[in-house]
Amino acid sequence: MTRVESLRALMDERGVEAMLIQKSENRRYLTGFTGSAGFVLITAREALLLVDFRYVEQAGAEASGVEVLKADRQFLDTLAELVPARGLQRLGFESDGLTYKQYDDFSKRLAPATFVPIDGVDRLRWVKDRDEIERITRAVEIADRAFAHIRTLLRPGMVEREIALEMEFFMRRNGAEKEAFETIVAGGPRSALPHGRASDRVLAEGDLVTLDFGAVVRGYVSDCTRTVVLTEASRKHEEIYGIVLRAQQAALAGIKPGMTGKEADALARTVITEAGYGEAFGHSLGHGVGLAVHEGPTLSPREEAVLAQGMVVTVEPGIYLPGWGGVRIEDLVVITAEGCRSLTRAPKELLVL
């Protein structure tokens, strides 16, 4: 099935005659259009991409399988003409895609058509095709090279912000469109912050340094975390790092299609809990990656969704000890027919730099 046909199957399942798509990732997934504004209107027979004056030429060059229409800047006047002209009575929209004001305005202007919230549109993107996996793989390769590069520079006396900036520059110089998210560099006690933004802190001897980074290639992202030690590793560094590494290895060996996200999470969480650090692993084991850096499915204690071949997810256990520091190791993997295959090639042994 094509992507639009998959959406039409969801429309039939939810009992709506048309679907209005606004979220940028879904809009790009369905049409190929990369602009920052626009709506996609899908009916049983039509696929329309509405863009304003700024994007008419770009949409014509990028979009495929849809008819491009020039719309007013606010889009609502154009939709108020299109919807009644087609006799649409039940119009679906992404339940997490509109603000309350947009929902209120659209519901009033498009009456008597009923505006119906639909979840599950993002789920169409969970299983990746070959081209998507190739783009993600290229993004991973660039990020791997960035880690190899930064390892040659990391030393006491460097500032976290300088490291993050150098990694971003390196990825862009080597083919990335941009960084996938704000690069995380957290040293010493700050490494206990799972999402510690790079600060003005100066790295010191004996610091754990957590780096979380990713690249974007043709819209698709990568996501990787590595934790290193500067100058000398203590016994506690080795202990905590070893536990996290064993947890990740257990997950990588056990993840397979047919298991739930909850079962995948348990593969790593059990190792950390049995080692006595269960309370220090407060986030999920992983999440889907694609056009967005966080998408479904999740590998979490609450995820009942079943993993399938072609899904791309992170595997990132961690232990975080306030006042001391933290360790996270994250690979990006693709679910295969037999298990999972790691796309990340950056070394995972404890590196003392």
Residue 168 tokens read as 């971003």
Categorize the per-residue pLDDT at 1 as very low, low, confident or very high, splitting at 50, 70 and 90.
Answer: low
DSSP annotation of 278: G
- Strand 178-179 vs strand 114-118: parallel, antiparallel, or unpaired? unpaired
Report yes or no: 39 and 21 within 8 Å, Cβ to Cβ: yes
Range of the domain at 80: 3-125
Whether residue 40 has pLDDT greater than 70: yes
Q: Which of 109, 125, 141 is the last residue of a domain?
A: 125
Mean of per-residue pLDDT scores for the chain: 97
Whether residue 72 has pLDDT greater than 90: no
Reduced to 3 states (helix: H, G, I; strand: E, B; else coil), residue 299 is strand
Mean local confidence (pLDDT), 236-256: 98
Residue 197 and residue 94 share a domain: no
Residue 270 and residue 241 share a domain: yes
Residue 7 tokens read as 């959406």
Domain count of the fold of the chain: 2
Tell me how far CA of residue 163 lies from CA of 150, 213, 223, in angstroms: 7, 11, 17
pTM of this structure: 0.96
Residue 146 and residue 111 share a domain: no
Distance CA 82, CA 80 (A): 6
Residue 135 and residue 121 share a domain: no
Q: What is the pLDDT of residues 100-135, one digit of tens each?
A: 999 999 999 999 999 999 999 999 999 999 999 999
Distance CA 148, CA 75 (A): 47
Q: What is the pLDDT of residues 164-208, one digit of tens each?
A: 999 999 999 999 999 999 999 999 999 999 999 999 999 999 999
Write the CATH number for 52. 3.40.350.10
Q: Which of 98, 125, 152 is the last residue of a domain?
A: 125
Mean local confidence (pLDDT), 147-156: 97
Report yes or no: 59 and 49 within 8 Å, Cβ to Cβ: yes
Categorize the per-residue pLDDT at 63 as very low, low, confident or very high, splitting at 50, 70 and 90.
Answer: very high
Report yes or no: 11 and 92 within 8 Å, Cβ to Cβ: yes
Mean local confidence (pLDDT), 253-267: 98
E-state strands within the chain: 18-21, 39-43, 47-51, 67-70, 90-94, 114-118, 178-179, 184-187, 208-213, 215-217, 220-221, 224-229, 286-288, 295-299, 312-315, 318-321, 325-328, 331-335, 340-342
- Strand 114-118 vs strand 90-94: parallel, antiparallel, or unpaired? parallel
Reduced to 3 states (helix: H, G, I; strand: E, B; else coil), residue 44 is coil
Whether residue 73 has pLDDT greater than 80: no
Mean local confidence (pLDDT), 304-331: 98
- Degrees (nearest 5) of the Cα angle 89, 90, 95? 150
Whether residue 74 has pLDDT greater than 90: no
Closest CA to 272 of 260, 285, 286: 285
Distance CA 346, CA 326 (A): 19
Residue 149 and residue 54 share a domain: no
Residue 336 and residue 194 share a domain: yes
Residue 157 within a domain = yes
Residue 353 within a domain = no
